[in-house]
Amino acid sequence: MTVLIVDDHPSFRASARTLLEAEGYNIVGEAENGETAVEAARELHPDLVLLDVQLPGIDGFAVADQLRKLEDPPIVILTSSRDRADYGRCIGECGAHGFVPKADLSGAAIAAFLVA
Amino acid sequence: MIFARRPWLFFGPAAVFAGAAAVALTLTSDHEEHPALTTVLLLFVSMSFVIAGLIGWMRRPSNRTGMLMVAVGYGVLATSLYEANYAVPYTIGTIVGSVFIAVFLHLMLAYPSGRLLSGSGRTLVVAAYAAAVVAPLADAMFPQDQTCKPHACPDDLVLLSRDHAAHVATTALSTVAAVILFAGAFWLLVGRWRRATPAMRRQLRPVYLAGGLSVVLLAIGFIVTPFSGVGNTIVSVALIVTFTAVPFLFLAGLLGTTLARSAGVGTIFSAVPERASPGEVQEGLRAALRDPTAEVAYWYEEGGHYVDVDGNRYELPPDTRHRVVTRLDYADSPVAAIVHDAALRDEPELLEAITGAARIALERDKLLVEVKARAERYRAVLQAMPDLMFRISRGGVYSGYNAPNPRDLLSDVVVGRKVHDRLPKELADRVLEAGQAAVDRGTPQMIEYELEFSGETRNYEARFAASGEDEFLMIVREITDRKRQQAELEASRARIVAAGDDERRKLERNLHDGAQQRLVSLSLSLRLAQRRVRSDPDGAEELLEGSREELAQALEELRELARGIHPAVLTDRGLEAALEALAARSPLPVEIRGASCDLPAQVEAAAYYVVSEALANVTKYAQASAVEVTVERRNGTAVVEVADDGIGGADPLRGSGLRGLADRVASLSGKLDVESPPGSGTRVRAEIPLE
């Protein structure tokens, strides 16, 4: 499964890439903000976008909404160092398939949303 | 003593008996040349004094003038003993025949109270009594050859010698003594007259005129008698007239007081009509008391003091010889007081009758004066107030105003104009509505408004209170400064709140972007290392090494954040240590002076942040080579100063940091100043009051 990682912190992008690759995911690209994320998704057609909520400029919810409107919309899993409860209903309403706290990120956690 | 209350019971009948005896002695006298004339004169003069004296005595028992007049009358009757044909009464009559003159002198010097008030008066009277006995006694001891009709006189029982030279010597001595005494008495009477107040002179005038003349004539008589028989006769006739006039004038004075009393009461009531002013009442009292200097003071219940007829506070003067206070009380409550000539105390009937009548009028006027005093007080209060005041009718027409500063008025003409002519319509509507509400409900109303005045917008506060059934009072105070200060305070509070929110947001962001991210990465790295620990020990070790560095950085970032929230060193070790820590972290040399003074915790915190922010600004912008930090207590104020030698030209309003500091200092009632002339360094100075 191809994955695009979107986060403004390089250390997290590196850790997430190592972790997911170790579990068999194919990381096809990285983006550090919302605008480049949408462009990369349009270009790379990833199966899944791991999308940080708090991005400089447009936030993860707006990016998720734009990704949903693409011709071939990817699966969007939101992630954040904050708790899901901090965002209320925003996660469900933006078109994302799920939310994984950054500290709990793993291939299995992502796979759980894919099965669902 | 029954004589004190009813002296006529004894002295009246006694005078009749004594008079009868005197008539008998005179008419049967062998040595009296004019028995009939002498009898008539004796009776007329003596009885005039006795009757006038008894009337005065009964009318004023406490006044001894009446008693002294009775004594003079009896003294005159005693001279008839001289007419006796027997040696004993004749000799006694010779000796006591002049005592009445001493009593008369006593009467004159003691008039009008009947009491001798001066030491010189008492001395003179004692000398007169002594002389009145000693001189005739000496004359009887050394008589003239021919005293009576030839061989008609009874024996002189005290006769020592008929030596002519001895007689002349004793007569000369007696005459000199008499003249000295009369001159002294006349001198005292003149002095008394000169010192007397107008009211006192009014009393003294008739009696002094007759009595003083009598004294002079007596003195002349003593001088001329030895030399001229004709002169003696003339003086004697004049003396009888003036001497006898004294009791009649005394009676006339008493009668005058009685008339004045009834006239005075009438004056009070006629001069004090229904709507008389307190001033008119005072004039009426002056006329009634015949004392143009009399003053009326009204008791002002509310103030607990007296006020004059104009409503001004009035302190009653202490009683003196010339002026005294008569208080008018009603049922133990003060009503008024009259300050008047002390001489009126000698006319108690007059004073009593008039003050009795006046009490009624004054009780009524007290209310008027109280109202006046209250009005005076309110007027004083109103004049002292800096506010504009307008009296406005219910219909909206100005009927009066008070403007401490006329420049505060929108227009010079106020009275008679309408509210809608002077004020913008919307404001005029509000003014009338509030004023009418104050009149209708009886409760004060208040509005605030803005007005364009002298080219600027000013704020005013107007209060309304009913000042009559159809009128209200509008009190206007400018509150522009208060409003501006209020706005500044609100803005400052808002900035403090906003700055707090901003700080929290920044803190959350810093936590999120810093330590939290590092901890997330650390968590992921540890999980990876855990998976590789068996399959790839070298890779796992590498991951763990990276994790350790990540953790160390996360800890450092957390420490930095915590320092930004509140410097622990300030709490633990005080301002001096905290400032030294700041200085140690600064890239520039920082000299700290006087930070050891003990200050309240919130002042220390403010001082710390002032220095921290100022040092940060110096590092960023000032291009300075050194910084000096001073913290000291000065006159109950903490003074914090940060001065650098940089380029200056700093704009205090440029950054949010300095404004936030100014707000923090202002929240402690302090002020923050920044002096930064171009090229001369920057001086940030905070002054925070410590009490």
Note the CATH number of domain B569-691: 3.30.565.10
* Among candidates A14, A16, A81 on the partner chain, residue whose Cβ is nearest the Cβ of B516: A81
The verdict on a CB contact (< 8 Å) between A16 and B524 is: yes
CB-based contact B524 A15, cutoff 8 Å: yes
Task: For residues B36 and B21, give the distance between their C-alpha atoms in angstroms, rounded to a whole number.
Answer: 14
3-state secondary structure of A98: strand
Residue B539 CB-density burial (10 A; 0-12 exposed, 13-18 middle, 19+ buried): middle
Number of structural domains chain A divides into? 1
Contact B528 A106 (CB under 8 A): no
Provide the pairing of β-strand B627-634 with B590-593.
Answer: parallel
* CA-closest candidate to residue A46, choices A20, A28, A69: A28
Structure tokens given for B569: 């060193």
User: How far apart are the C-alpha atoms of B434 and B477, rounded to whole Å?
Assistant: 16
**Residue A1: inside a domain:** no
Q: What is the pLDDT of residue B266?
A: 54
Q: Which residue of B has its CA nearest to A19?
A: B528
SS (H, E, C) B217-262: HHHHHHHHCCCCHHHHHHHHHHHHHHHHHHHHHHHHHHHHHHHHHH
| Residues of chain B neighbouring A81 (CB-CB closer than 8 A) | 512, 516-517, 519-520
Give me the pLDDT at residue B363, please: 67
Candidates A9, A12, A15: best to mutate against B (most CBs of B within 10 A) is A15
CB B363 within 8 Å of CB B318: no
Contacts of A11 in chain B (CB under 8 A): 517-518, 521, 550
pLDDT of residue A38: 94
Determine, yes or no, domain membership for A82.
yes
* B593 contacts B602 by C-beta, under 8 angstroms: no
What is the reported pTM?
Answer: 0.44
Q: Testing the interface with A: which of B518, B521, B536 to mutate, by most A Cβ within 10 A?
A: B521
Nearest CB among B517, B525, B528 relative to A9 is that of B517
Most B CBs within 10 A among A81, A82, A87, hence the mutation to make, goes to: A81
3-state secondary structure of B454: coil
Residue B666: which of B491, B482, B500 has the closest Cα?
A: B491
Rg (CA), chain A: 12
Of residues B567, B571, B658, the one with CA closest to residue B617: B658
Which phi and psi angles does A52 have, rounded to 5°?
-70, 140
Under 8 Å between Cβ of B140 and B159? yes
Please tell me the predicted confidence (pLDDT) of residue B71: 93
A23 touching chain B per CB within 8 A: no
Q: Please name which of B237, B235, B238 lies closest in space to residue B226, comparing C-alpha atoms.
A: B235
Helix (H) / strand (E) containing B263: helix B229-271
pLDDT digits (tens, 9 = 90+) for B496-543: 888 888 888 888 888 887 888 888 888 888 888 888 888 889 989 988
Alpha carbons B85 and B153: distance in angstroms, whole number: 7
The confidence score (pLDDT) of residue B452 equals 85
Amino acid at B181: L
Strand-strand pairing, A75-80 and A48-52: parallel
Rounded to whole angstroms, the Cα distance separating B356 from B350 reads 10
Task: Write down the pLDDT at residue B5.
Answer: 66
8 Å CB contact of B517 and A54: no
For residue B270, the model assigns a pLDDT of 52
Q: Is residue A69 part of a domain?
A: yes
Q: Are B247 and B45 in contact (CB under 8 A)?
A: no
Burial class of residue B403 in the structure, from the number of CB atoms within 10 Å of its CB (0-12 exposed, 13-18 middle, 19+ buried): middle
Cα–Cα nearest to A106, from B534, B515, B523: B523
Chain A residues close to B513, C-beta within 8 Å: 9
Q: What per-residue confidence (pLDDT) applies to B116?
A: 87
Q: Look at B518 and A15 and tell me if their CB atoms are within 8 Å.
A: no
Torsion of CA B303, B308, B313, B314, to 10 degrees: -110
CB contact under 8 A, B519 and A103: yes
Name the nearest CA neighbour of B104 among B246, B225, B254, B250.
B246
Q: Render pLDDT for B259-280 as a digit per residue (tens, 0 to 9).
A: 555 555 555 555 455 556 677 7
Here the CATH number for the domain that contains residue A65 is 3.40.50.2300
Q: Under CATH, to which class is B385-478 assigned?
A: alpha beta
- On whether the B487-565 domain is CATH 1.20.5, my answer is yes
Q: In terms of residue numbers, what domain contains A44?
A: 6-115
Binary contact (B524, A102; C-beta < 8 A): yes
In this prediction the ipTM stands at: 0.81
Q: Is residue A19 part of a domain?
A: yes
DSSP for residue B513: I
Cα B308 from Cα B670, distance rounded (Å)? 53
Q: Which residues in chain B land under pLDDT 50?
A: 271
Question: Alpha-carbon dihedral of residues B6, B8, B10, B14, nearest 10 degrees?
Answer: 170
pLDDT value at residue B276:
62
Please check whether residue A9 touches B, CB under 8 A.
yes
B85-92: which pairs have CB atoms within 8 A and are 24 or more residues apart?
Answer: B85/B28, B85/B29, B85/B30, B85/B31, B85/B154, B86/B154, B87/B154, B87/B155, B87/B156, B87/B157, B88/B157, B89/B25, B90/B153, B90/B154, B90/B155, B90/B156, B91/B140, B91/B154, B91/B155, B91/B156, B91/B157, B91/B158
- pLDDT of amino acid B226: 65
Round the CA-based radius of gyration of chain B to a whole number and report it.
54
The burial class, CB within 10 Å (0-12 / 13-18 / 19+), for B231 is middle
Query: Where exactly are the structural domains of chain B?
Result: 2-239, 272-380, 385-478, 487-565, 569-691
